[in-house]
A and B are shown apart, each in its own frame.
Chain A
């Protein structure tokens, strides 16, 4: 197994600032905008962006939710491993709000397809956008593209992109893993 560094912690930090600025450019005061981190690993990025927007860019408090898509996936009974659920925490109605889905890696697009269905349980958003740190282009199974992307990566199917967060993995960094 070989591991190649795609982004180090400094680069991740620069990208996060750019993404935060892009969000402000579009959403200004976030009055009707809600951030939704996709479980399990999109939540770290969502929390980081919320903290950065509020503390470093002085936006008013932003609503943040976590969405688990397990029960909405299209591969139930089609994988060898049982699907394990995570916690959904959305304590608000998304009716007529602008929702921004936040995930670490966009690969086949199937998780986002599931998230688009899952969010409907909480109302009808006026608009949904997608922000990802890593966009694995040329790997899509569905016509889904991000509105905000940190870095585009060309990785073949056997390769894995792993995003580490210091809250969970002791350091920020993105790795390309080849078996």
Chain B
């Protein structure tokens, strides 16, 4: 009988390969569940989950909520914009107030790296990190790997390039950890200003040329340029970025093999990826969204089974 080695999902670096395998196996079962005529199971009917989003989110928040509801958990959702956080309440106070309403699990997104870790040390509830600043976004990395596994059979031995704004991306960091843990080879590609210094120490190589990177890889994960996190100009213009690091159909078709195209969303169509690539046969972007629900159901189910 298997269970997760952790009580919280704070980041990929806190879990191990066995945990990832268990999450994937469980997600396989939930993927079957969400394709039934009635897509709901009663497992978590005595569990209450709070979704606390201090940062904007559409996909992740909806996906978590749907996953929780498919498991029959009671769900309360909270966005910082409409809350007392604006009145100056601290993070611990906000969360403890929510927990005194008898909440068992907290799914949190926060703009500060380490916020989920901090919370896990200070409040009594199972914590799921739904993104903390530019640090980690573990469920996204899990669903990305799961989608690769689904499309190519296995993650081990595959070559994955992460293209774009690596500097501001929590998706990139979680993906690097998750892919390497499963035995994939990872390169990053993007303008020098958007690649963090010393990223090689994570065991990845930097490839400044998009065409070379694409010719090398089996999977290309195209990240969004996070304009909202850029306080200075990291590249001369969006047009120049699109010309050098944007993936269009001409470039994709000129490669000597078929690669898998991924994107964590939301897409800036015409910047990092053009519409015809995003909607092409090689793109698994919408599969990623579907798998996101199954993966989050698995994570929540496995963590909930450890709540005393």
Q: Is B42 in contact with A117, judged by CB distance below 8 angstroms?
A: yes
Return chain A residues, CB-CB under 8 Å to B304.
Answer: 76-77
How distant is B101 from chain A, measured CB to nearest CB, in Å? 20
How distant is the Cα of A86 from the Cα of B38 in the complex, in angstroms? 18
Number of interface residues of A (CB under 8 A): 22
How distant is A149 from chain B, measured CB to nearest CB, in Å? 28
Q: Is B43 in contact with A122, judged by CB distance below 8 angstroms?
A: no
Q: Is A68 in contact with B29, judged by CB distance below 8 angstroms?
A: yes
Whether, in the assembled complex, B307 has its beta carbon less than 8 Å from a beta carbon of chain A, the answer is yes
- Chain B interface size band reads 20 to 34
How distant is the Cα of A153 from the Cα of B180 in the complex, in angstroms? 53
> In the complex, which of the residues B29, B37, B305 contacts A77, with contact meaning CB atoms closer than 8 Å?
B305
Whether, in the assembled complex, A57 has its beta carbon less than 8 Å from a beta carbon of chain B, the answer is no
Given known A81-B1, A82-B2, contact A122–B37 (CB-CB < 8 A): yes
Minimum CB distance partner of A117 in chain B: B42
Say what secondary structure dominates the interface of chain A: loop
Chain B 265-308, CB-CB to A under 8 Å as 1, else 0, gives 00000000000000000000000000000000000011011010
How distant is the Cα of A118 from the Cα of B26 in the complex, in angstroms? 17
Whether, in the assembled complex, A22 has its beta carbon less than 8 Å from a beta carbon of chain B, the answer is no
Q: Is A84 in contact with B41, judged by CB distance below 8 angstroms?
A: no
Whether, in the assembled complex, B228 has its beta carbon less than 8 Å from a beta carbon of chain A, the answer is no
How distant is the Cα of A83 from the Cα of B44 in the complex, in angstroms? 13
Given known A77-B305, A77-B307, contact A121–B37 (CB-CB < 8 A): yes
Q: Is A76 in contact with B29, judged by CB distance below 8 angstroms?
A: no
How distant is the Cα of A68 from the Cα of B28 in the complex, in angstroms? 13
Whether, in the assembled complex, A60 has its beta carbon less than 8 Å from a beta carbon of chain B, the answer is no
How distant is the Cα of A86 from the Cα of B32 in the complex, in angstroms? 11
Return chain A residues, CB-CB under 8 Å to B38.
Answer: 120-122
Whether, in the assembled complex, B259 has its beta carbon less than 8 Å from a beta carbon of chain A, the answer is no
Q: Is B1 in contact with A71, judged by CB distance below 8 angstroms?
A: no
Return chain B residues, CB-CB under 8 Å to A76.
Answer: 43-44, 304-305
How distant is B32 from chain A, measured CB to nearest CB, in Å? 6
How distant is the Cα of A124 from the Cα of B39 in the complex, in angstroms? 15
How distant is B302 from chain A, measured CB to nearest CB, in Å? 8
Q: Is B305 in contact with A82, judged by CB distance below 8 angstroms?
A: yes
Whether, in the assembled complex, B40 has its beta carbon less than 8 Å from a beta carbon of chain A, the answer is yes
How distant is the Cα of A84 from the Cα of B33 in the complex, in angstroms? 15
Chain A residues within CB distance 8 Å of chain B? 68, 70-73, 76-77, 81-88, 93, 117-118, 120-123
**Closest 10 A-B residue pairs measured CB to CB?**
A71-B41, A121-B38, A82-B3, A85-B29, A81-B1, A121-B36, A71-B43, A76-B43, A82-B305, A82-B1
